[in-house]
Amino acid sequence: MPTIHREPDFGYDDLVDLVEGQLRVVELTAVNAEIGGPGERLWMMEPGLGGDVYRLWRKSRGKGRGTYWAVDRDRPWEAVVWLREALSGVLGRLTRPGAAYAYALEPGREEQDLAVLDELEAVRLAGVEELGCSLGPGAAVGALEREVVIPAQAELARAGALRSRLLREHFGTGPDAAERAAAELGWDVGKARKALAAHDDYRTWVREGAAHARTSVPVHRPSGDTGLPARLAATLMTAACREEEIVPGRPSPVPIPDELAPWYVYVRGLGACIAVAVEGVHTPDGNPWEYMTVAPVVMVLEADWTVHEGVIVSPVPYDLGSECVIFDEDAILAGGGDPQ
């Protein structure tokens, strides 16, 4: 978490006031009660204001050098990562509530954990609320599906396939395997049959999905020779364009230098663009899906660029939090786009 205020510049009460007195925040009391030490506080911005998380806590100066009070700020999707780690005990109990010793020993503890979950959910949803505000609730639901629901469903399917493999190793795949598994495990035969089939069912699902992707997922390729292997060039271009709506064959109203021409693409709404690797995000051995993007031609020309191993690298303005170019409306208009 990046520190925004700290001792000795501000005392403890001043640090509290810098958050509570000057920002519109709600306190995450349940989470803080679980992970915070004496005097430590945790807040997030009110709904609709971006969801940034603020933590007032004691940070170490290093081994044997004491501590100091500081206020750190994180974007919601970054905060969720360390919050989930810090709340592993709570999440573990909520995963198997019927077997949790804490719930057996502490009546009412489940309500505390559910209150923690409510606040953690609020932070997680703040990460997609900006999409909901700008593009409607469908965009927010879609983002949550992609980032949370679908990965969880896939992990559950993989777990079922793993259990299926274990069952097959013990009971085989013969015509009586389901009956034998059911008798041994105390299951009904239908459950055993479904569990045994999960191994093949999962692999069929993957293969059918891959075949569907090859016919439905848009793949984009540079319009000219980049000097790169064809698959790598297509990967870079596809990663840059992602889900943008591409208008094939539409020329750029802005002159494009020869070095940039293979990476030119016209994007509906953004106009004439160049597929670039964002300087400061790009690394030679990095993931193209993290550093490639499209930026209006004029923005690339103004920011300048270099060619690194065939890739256009440009320091276009970029928000690391939202992983998005900070678009310039005049540059979009110059390229024939519509900033609305």
Segment 152-188, tens digit of pLDDT: 999 999 999 999 999 999 999 999 999 999 999 999 9
* Judgement on whether residues 242 and 129 belong to the same structural domain of the protein: no
Round the average pLDDT of the chain to a whole number and report it. Answer: 92
Write down the pLDDT at residue 207: 96
On whether residue 270 sits in a domain, the answer given is yes
Tokens for 207, please give them: 């293969």
Residue that finishes a domain, picked among 216, 251, 285: 216
Residue that finishes a domain, picked among 80, 100, 134: 134
* Judgement on whether residues 263 and 314 belong to the same structural domain of the protein: yes
* Judgement on whether residues 26 and 148 belong to the same structural domain of the protein: no
Domain count, the chain: 3
* Judgement on whether residues 235 and 326 belong to the same structural domain of the protein: yes
**What is the separation of C-alpha 85 from the centre of its chain, rounded to a whole number of angstroms?**
16
On whether residue 90 sits in a domain, the answer given is yes
252: phi then psi, degrees, rounded to nearest 5: -85, 130
Write down the pLDDT at residue 88: 95
On whether residue 225 sits in a domain, the answer given is no
Contact at 8 Å (CB) between 31 and 87? yes
pTM of the full predicted structure?
0.72
* Judgement on whether residues 148 and 129 belong to the same structural domain of the protein: no
Residue that finishes a domain, picked among 71, 102, 134: 134
* Judgement on whether residues 28 and 143 belong to the same structural domain of the protein: no
* Judgement on whether residues 146 and 54 belong to the same structural domain of the protein: no
Write down the pLDDT at residue 134: 65
On whether residue 243 sits in a domain, the answer given is yes
* Judgement on whether residues 206 and 318 belong to the same structural domain of the protein: no
Considering only CA atoms, which of 230, 264, 226 is closest in space to residue 247? 264
On whether residue 340 sits in a domain, the answer given is no
Identify any residues that bridge with 56 across adjacent strands, giving them in sequence order.
41, 71
Write down the pLDDT at residue 7: 92
Give the containing element (helix H, strand E) for 129: helix 109-135
On whether residue 224 sits in a domain, the answer given is no
Contact at 8 Å (CB) between 281 and 268? no
Please state, in angstroms and rounded to a whole number, the distance separating the CA atoms of residues 290 and 278: 9
* Judgement on whether residues 123 and 147 belong to the same structural domain of the protein: no
Write down the pLDDT at residue 50: 77
Please state, in angstroms and rounded to a whole number, the distance separating the CA atoms of residues 77 and 53: 10
Identify any residues that bridge with 264 across adjacent strands, giving them in sequence order.
274
For residue 251, the 8-state DSSP code is: P
**What is the separation of C-alpha 121 from the centre of its chain, rounded to a whole number of angstroms?**
15
Measured CA angle at 42 (ends 12, 57), to 5 deg? 45
Q: Which residues neighbour 267 within 8 Å (Cβ) at sequence distance 6 or greater?
A: 241, 244, 245, 246, 247, 273, 294, 337
Q: Which domain holds residue 37?
A: 3-134
* Judgement on whether residues 129 and 147 belong to the same structural domain of the protein: no
Write down the pLDDT at residue 257: 94
pLDDT along the chain (340 residues), means of 10: 89 94 93 93 88 91 85 91 95 95 95 96 86 74 87 95 97 95 96 96 95 93 93 95 91 94 94 94 89 95 92 91 84 88
On whether residue 223 sits in a domain, the answer given is no
On whether residue 187 sits in a domain, the answer given is yes
* Judgement on whether residues 149 and 120 belong to the same structural domain of the protein: no
* Judgement on whether residues 263 and 159 belong to the same structural domain of the protein: no
Please state, in angstroms and rounded to a whole number, the distance separating the CA atoms of residues 295 and 332: 9
Considering only CA atoms, which of 219, 235, 234 is closest in space to residue 290? 235
Q: What single-letter amino acid sits at 103? A: Y
Contact at 8 Å (CB) between 232 and 309? no
